[in-house]
């Protein structure tokens, strides 16, 4: 009797040390990023009490990101992707250093915060194309979906831990140490980013098979041309852009924590962790049982859940109902994120994977950071609650429009086989 066929599982991923180091570095870096996010939002809102400044934090990240992400994709296709990621982490470490200097100075002028966020956006512009394109180089194709699922689970676990740790450290610094809590958070984040650089230097070099010679403007836009000609890919990444653009409630969490739910910096950390808890739970499910059929339906369902959860959060005046809504928001978000990532990476030849990942990253950055800016502007016009509720409704409208505009994405069943 023939032995049953071995189906690769999550344990098989641990045999690939380069992937393990990469995943660990991303986990620690994400904790640092999330800690910074909690401290920056609370610190800025405590100084200015202006919702627009929370939106400008996102805009400050987005402008350098938009400028540099397409060149970042071209660089990822021509150089060692590992070193691109290392350099990005160094830039983000400089961001933490600027925030430390700002806090020590005691100034109430917040332009140094926007400068730090611009540095962070520049670092992400190079990290995202290289980081997204690198996973497929570190594991065999047959376990790539599980690698994406595990990587997503670790990412979302960091999204849970980072805000919670950041909120607790902020409160600890202010109450126990009788010092500015932001300074403690920024210092710990800087230490984590230093550790992350050391981890990534232990990963083997990953150089993509791109042509030699100087980088041309034509190459910058090759990823855009590729995405435009792959309608399911175009639909998947632009759906996320518009849905999250309207549903960017997380930028306003400092307002909800301070003025509506009255839960302080520790509560803010918990609120920021809640989407990560939902996403980590769903990511763990997808790592064990990857989506193999009806991928398009799952993606639209995930985005619709994101919109409904956003509306519930906006209307809630209960801390625990708000936590539950944000939990479901994370479940919906990670479902669409994993499907989009698999679709983009498996449709794309390795020689241009960095540039296509740059386009994907550009859409993600536009949705996240511009979504934060949009939320800050509408919150100043209408107030925080109407801004969030209208954003959630807008997300559901986008789902309806895309169901009609992209039938190929709606009907997508199985993922494509990777190009040779």
Q: Tell me the C-alpha to C-alpha distance, in Å, between residue 139 and each of 84, 134, 145, 148.
A: 19, 10, 10, 10
Q: 358 by DSSP, 3-state: which?
A: helix
In the chain, what are the helix, strand and coil shares in percent, each to the nearest 5?
80, 0, 20
CA distance linking residue 413 with residue 299, whole number of Å: 11
Band of residue 11 on the pLDDT scale cut at 50, 70, 90: low
Cα pseudo-dihedral 290, 230, 217, 68, rounded to 10:
-40
Q: Could you give all domains of the chain from N- to C-terminal order, each with its CATH number?
A: 14-203+215-410 (1.20.1250.20)
The pLDDT, as a whole number, for residue 356 is 76
CA distance linking residue 236 with residue 298, whole number of Å: 12
Q: Which residues of 151-178 are buried (b: 16+ CB within 10 A; e: fewer)?
A: bbbbbbbbbbbbbbbbbbbbbbbbeeee
Q: Are 220 and 77 in contact (CB under 8 A)?
A: no
The predicted model scores a pTM of 0.75
229, containing H or E segment: none
Please indicate whether residue 291 or residue 418 has the higher confidence score (pLDDT): 291
Q: 373 by DSSP, 3-state: which?
A: helix
CA distance linking residue 277 with residue 161, whole number of Å: 9
Q: Are 236 and 343 in contact (CB under 8 A)?
A: yes
Q: Are 403 and 410 in contact (CB under 8 A)?
A: yes
262, containing H or E segment: none
Instruction: Give the residue-averaged pLDDT of 240-260.
Output: 82
Helix 353-365 to helix 51-76 angle (10° resolution) is: 180
Band of residue 412 on the pLDDT scale cut at 50, 70, 90: confident
Q: pLDDT by residue (tens digit) across 129-173? A: 888 778 877 887 777 777 877 787 788 788 788 988 998 899 888
Q: pLDDT by residue (tens digit) across 189-217? A: 999 999 999 999 988 876 655 555 555 55
Nearest residue to 356 via CA among 122, 77, 121? 77
* 207 backbone dihedrals φ, ψ, rounded to 5°: -110, 125
* 80 backbone dihedrals φ, ψ, rounded to 5°: -65, 110
| Count of beta carbons in the 10 Å neighbourhood of residue 20 | 17
The pLDDT, as a whole number, for residue 2 is 46
How many alpha carbons fall within 13 Å on the CB side of residue 370? 17
Q: With 60 as the cut, is the pLDDT of residue 284 above it? A: yes
- One DSSP character per residue, 15-47 reads T-HHHHHHHHHHHHHHHHHHHHHHHHHHHHHHH
Instruction: Tell me what the pLDDT averaged over the chain comes to.
Output: 83
Please indicate whether residue 180 or residue 164 has the higher confidence score (pLDDT): 164
Scan for tokens 């739910």, then name that residue.
261
CA distance linking residue 418 with residue 145, whole number of Å: 11
Q: pLDDT by residue (tens digit) across 70-93? A: 888 888 878 888 899 999 999 999
CA distance linking residue 73 with residue 84, whole number of Å: 10
Nearest residue to 301 via CA among 325, 323, 331? 331
Report the first-to-last Cα separation within the chain, whole angstroms: 34
């Amino acid at each position: 009797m023939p032995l049953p066929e071995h189906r690769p599982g999550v344990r098989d991923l641990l045999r690939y040390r380069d992937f393990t180091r990469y995943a660990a570095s991303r986990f620690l870096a994400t904790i640092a990023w999330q800690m910074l996010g909690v401290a920056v939002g609370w610190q800025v809102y405590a100084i200015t009490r202006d919702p627009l400044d929370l939106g400008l934090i996102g805009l400050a990240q987005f402008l350098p990101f938009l400028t540099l992400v397409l060149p970042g994709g071209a660089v990822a296709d021509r150089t060692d992707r590992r070193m691109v990621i290392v350099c990005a982490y160094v830039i983000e470490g400089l961001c933490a250093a600027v925030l430390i200097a700002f806090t020590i100075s005691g100034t109430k002028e917040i332009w140094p915060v926007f400068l730090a966020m611009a540095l962070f956006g520049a670092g992400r512009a190079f990290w995202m194309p290289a980081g997204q394109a690198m996973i497929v180089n570190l594991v065999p194709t047959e376990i790539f979906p599980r690698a994406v699922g595990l990587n997503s689970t670790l990412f979302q676990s960091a999204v849970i831990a980072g805000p919670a740790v950041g909120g607790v450290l902020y409160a600890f610094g202010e109450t126990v140490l009788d010092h500015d809590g932001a300074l403690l958070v920024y210092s710990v984040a800087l230490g984590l980013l230093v550790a992350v650089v050391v981890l990534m230097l232990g990963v083997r070099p990953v150089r993509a098979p791109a042509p030699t010679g100087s980088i041309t403007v034509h190459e910058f836009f090759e990823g855009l041309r590729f995405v435009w000609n792959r309608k399911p890919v175009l639909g998947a990444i632009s759906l996320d852009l518009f849905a999250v653009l309207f549903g960017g409630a997380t930028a306003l969490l400092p307002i909800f924590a301070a003025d509506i739910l009255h839960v302080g910096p520790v509560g803010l950390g918990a609120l920021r962790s809640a989407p990560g808890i939902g996403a980590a739970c769903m990511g763990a499910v997808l790592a064990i049982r990857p989506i193999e059929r009806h991928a398009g339906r799952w993606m639209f369902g995930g985005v619709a859940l994101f919109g409904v959860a956003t509306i519930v959060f906006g209307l809630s005046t209960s801390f625990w109902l708000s936590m539950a809504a944000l939990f479901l928001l994370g479940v919906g978000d990670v479902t669409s994120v994993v499907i989009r990532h698999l679709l983009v990476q498996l449709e794309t030849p390795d020689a241009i994977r960095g540039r296509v990942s740059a386009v994907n990253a550009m859409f993600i950055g536009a949705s996240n950071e511009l979504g934060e800016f949009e939320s800050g502007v509408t919150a100043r016009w209408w107030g925080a609650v109407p801004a969030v509720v209208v954003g959630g409704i807008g997300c559901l409208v986008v789902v309806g429009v895309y169901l009609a505009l992209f039938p190929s994405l709606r009907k997508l069943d199985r993922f494509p086989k990777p190009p040779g």
